[in-house]
Chain A
Amino acid sequence: MEKIAVKVDDLTVAYNYKPVLWDIDLQIPEGVLMAIVGPNGAGKSTLIKAILGILKPIAGSVTIFGKPYATQRKHVAYVPQKGSVDWDFPTTALDVVMMGTYGSLGWIKRPGPNEKKRALEALEKVGMLSFKSRQISQLSGGQQQRIFLARALVQDASIYFMDEPFQGVDATTEVAIINILKELRKANKTVVVVHHDLQTVPEYFDWVTFLNVKKIATGPVKDTFNDDNLTKTYGINYKVSIQK
Chain B
Amino acid sequence: MEILEYIRLVFSDYTLRTITLGTAVLGGVTGMLGSFAVLRKQSLLGDAISHAALPGIALAFLITGSKDTNVLLIGALISGLIGTFWISGITSKTHLKSDTALGLILSVFFGFGMLLLTFIQKQPNANQAGLDKYLFGQAATLVESDVWLMSIVTGLCLLVLLLFWKEFKILLFDQDYAQTLGFNTKFIDILITSFIVLAIVLGLQTVGVVLMSAMLLAPAAAARQWTNSLSVMVLLAAVLGASAGVFGTAISSTQNNLSTGPVIVLVASVFVLFSFIFSPKRGLLFRQIKLIKNRNDLEFQKTLTFMYHIVENHEDVYHPHAIKILNNFQGYSRKGLQKLISKNYVRVNGEMWSLTPEGIAAVADMYNQNLKND
Which A positions have Cβ atoms within 8 angstroms of B?
A: 49, 52-54, 73-74, 76, 78, 80, 84-86, 89-92, 96, 99, 102-103, 105-108, 110-111, 135, 151, 155
A110: which of B166, B227, B229, B232 is its contact (CB, 8 Å)?
A: B166
- Provide the B159-177 mask, 1 if CB < 8 A to any CB of A, else 0: 0000111110110111011
Cβ–Cβ contact B176 & A90, under 8 A: no
Contacts A102-B166, A107-B167, A108-B163; A92 near B228 (Cβ below 8 A): yes
Cβ–Cβ contact B173 & A102, under 8 A: no
Q: Compute how far the CA of A84 lies from the CA of B177 in the bound complex, rounded to whole angstroms.
A: 10
Q: Which residues of B contact A76 (CB under 8 A)?
A: 180
Cβ–Cβ contact A135 & B228, under 8 A: yes
Which residues 119-153 of B sit at the A interface, judged by CB distance below 8 A?
none
Cβ–Cβ contact A89 & B180, under 8 A: no
Cβ–Cβ contact B230 & A91, under 8 A: yes
In the complex, whether B214 has a CB less than 8 A from a CB of chain A is: no
Cβ–Cβ contact A105 & B228, under 8 A: no
23 contacts between A and B (CB under 8 A): A52-B179, A52-B180, A53-B179, A73-B180, A73-B181, A73-B182, A78-B180, A80-B176, A80-B177, A89-B39, A90-B228, A90-B230, A90-B232, A92-B228, A99-B173, A99-B177, A99-B181, A102-B170, A102-B178, A103-B182, A108-B164, A110-B165, A155-B181
Contacts A90-B224, A105-B166, A135-B228; A84 near B181 (Cβ below 8 A): no
Q: Compute how far the CA of A96 lies from the CA of B165 in the bound complex, rounded to whole angstroms.
A: 14
Q: Which residues of A contact B39 (CB under 8 A)?
A: 89-90
Instruction: Give the residue name and chain of the B residue nearest to A74 (CB).
Output: B182
Chain A: minimal CB distance from B307 (Å): 33
Q: Which residues of A contact B195 (CB under 8 A)?
A: none
Q: Compute how far the CA of A76 lies from the CA of B41 in the bound complex, rounded to whole angstroms.
A: 29
Which B positions have Cβ atoms within 8 angstroms of A?
A: 39, 41, 163-167, 169-170, 172-174, 176-183, 224, 227-230, 232-233
Q: Which residues of A contact B41 (CB under 8 A)?
A: 86
Chain B: minimal CB distance from A190 (Å): 16
Q: Which residues of A contact B172 (CB under 8 A)?
A: 89
Chain A: minimal CB distance from B82 (Å): 25
A84: which of B174, B179, B230 is its contact (CB, 8 Å)?
A: B174
Cβ–Cβ contact A49 & B176, under 8 A: yes
Cβ–Cβ contact A80 & B174, under 8 A: yes
Q: Which residues of B contact A74 (CB under 8 A)?
A: 182
Chain A: minimal CB distance from B29 (Å): 20
Q: Which residues of A contact B165 (CB under 8 A)?
A: 110
With contacts A91-B229, A110-B166 known, what are 12 further pairs, Cβ within 8 A?
A78-B177, A80-B174, A84-B176, A86-B41, A89-B172, A90-B224, A96-B173, A102-B183, A105-B166, A108-B164, A108-B166, A135-B228
